[in-house]
């Protein structure tokens, strides 16, 4: 079994528990690095670690909610809970960026020399390696489980890794050149970078909450499956799709001869639904049967603004 396949088999909740443990460890390492060096760049890195911890806890709660079965109040399940996790994580990233920027501006006004740079950078590199390894596992598992919460946490961790790389380079340059102003400038660049990632996560979660259509490659697979059943007397139209967390949905109309018995029509519909759900993991297909000479129209007036 390949390493990628093994990573994809790890349940989201397990990885999020690992994320919490890694966040605690990296906070300790980065805080110690900041305390040893006095670098505001390393302080900004440690502050982002706090965001990682809060976000991982919130994501774990949302994943557990999303895993609940459908009930009377939520007949379509709780899958969209994961979008709240990604949106919350994006907002937390933006808040952390604001705090980092404020700290950097203060240090830019009153520069301070750095101490024990070598040890501080070594601690930062170790914490980055932990985050990078966990982010890779989360990306693999997130794609396999179609988990927005895992993907959001993985993106945040990778942002943290690149942040740490920038900080290490910046602090190293400060030590080499003696340019104290470079330390807060690096912190400001870190803030700008993580704001970009935060906005991306918030946007992506909002897209999911608004029932965005399935990915083009999935739509192509659906069309390819329907093509197997198309016939001069059988056609499909009004195909609409949406994604809700890990679950995918497709609704469509299937037209067939009016003289078919209900049993024959229902049997064909069952075959089409089964083929669609086999071709696309996590898909739920709903097909409405219509005679060939009947058209369905969606001409309802728009909602008032």
The predicted structure's pLDDT at residue 297: 58
For residue range 177-229, list pLDDT tens digits in order: 777 777 777 778 777 877 877 787 777 777 767 777 788 888 999 999 999 99
Domain ranges for the chain, please list them: 3-209, 216-291
Cβ(19)–Cβ(157) below 8 Å: yes
The predicted structure's pLDDT at residue 221: 92
Structure tokens at 109: 């006004």
Structure tokens at 207: 């897209």
The predicted structure's pLDDT at residue 304: 46
Cβ(115)–Cβ(38) below 8 Å: yes
Three-state DSSP class for residue 56: helix
Cβ(157)–Cβ(131) below 8 Å: yes
Query: 3-209, which class in CATH?
Result: mainly alpha
- Give the Cα separation of 115 and 9 in Å (integer): 44
The CATH number, out of the four listed (3.30.70.1350, 3.40.800.10, 3.30.230.10, 3.40.50.720), of the domain defined by the range 216-291? 3.30.70.1350
Same fold, 3-209 and 216-291: no
What strand order describes the sheet that includes 283-291? 235-244, 247-256, 283-291
What tens-digit pLDDT sequence spans the chain (305 residues)? 555 555 567 777 788 888 888 888 888 888 888 888 777 767 767 777 777 787 788 878 877 887 787 778 877 777 777 777 777 777 777 777 777 777 777 777 777 666 666 777 788 788 888 888 888 888 777 777 767 677 777 777 777 777 777 777 777 777 777 777 777 777 787 778 778 777 877 777 777 677 777 888 889 999 999 999 998 889 998 888 887 766 788 999 999 898 999 899 999 999 999 999 889 887 888 899 988 877 765 555 554 44
């Amino acid at each position: 079994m390949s390493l990628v396949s093994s990573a994809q088999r790890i349940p989201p909740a397990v990885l999020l528990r690992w994320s919490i443990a890694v966040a605690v460890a990296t906070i300790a390492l980065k805080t110690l690095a900041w305390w040893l060096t006095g670098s505001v760049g390393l302080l900004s890195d440690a502050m982002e670690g706090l965001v990682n911890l809060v976000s991982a806890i919130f994501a774990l709660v949302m994943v557990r909610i999303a895993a609940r079965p459908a009930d009377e109040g939520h007949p379509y399940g709780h899958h969209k809970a994961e979008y709240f996790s990604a949106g919350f994580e994006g907002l937390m990233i933006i808040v952390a960026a604001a705090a980092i920027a404020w700290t950097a501006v203060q240090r830019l006004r009153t520069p301070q020399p750095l101490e024990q740079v070598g040890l501080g950078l070594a601690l930062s590199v170790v914490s980055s390696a932990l985050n990078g390894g966990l982010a890779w596992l989360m990306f693999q598992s997130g794609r396999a489980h179609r988990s927005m919460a895992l993907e959001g946490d993985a993106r945040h961790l990778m942002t943290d890794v690149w942040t740490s790389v920038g900080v290490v380079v910046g602090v190293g340059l400060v030590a080499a050149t003696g340019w104290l102003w470079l330390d807060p400038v690096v912190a400001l660049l870190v803030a700008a970078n993580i704001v970009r990632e935060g906005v991306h996560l918030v946007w992506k979660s909002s897209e999911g909450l608004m029932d965005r259509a399935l990915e083009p490659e999935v739509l192509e697979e659906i069309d390819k499956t329907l093509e197997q059943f198309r016939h001069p007397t059988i056609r499909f139209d009004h195909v609409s799709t949406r994604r809700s967390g890990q679950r995918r949905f497709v609704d469509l109309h299937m037209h067939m001869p009016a003289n078919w018995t209900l049993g024959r029509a229902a049997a064909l519909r069952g075959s089409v639904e089964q083929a669609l759900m086999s071709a696309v993991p996590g898909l739920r297909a709903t097909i409405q049967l219509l005679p060939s000479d009947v058209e369905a129209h969606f001409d309802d007036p728009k909602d008032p603004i």
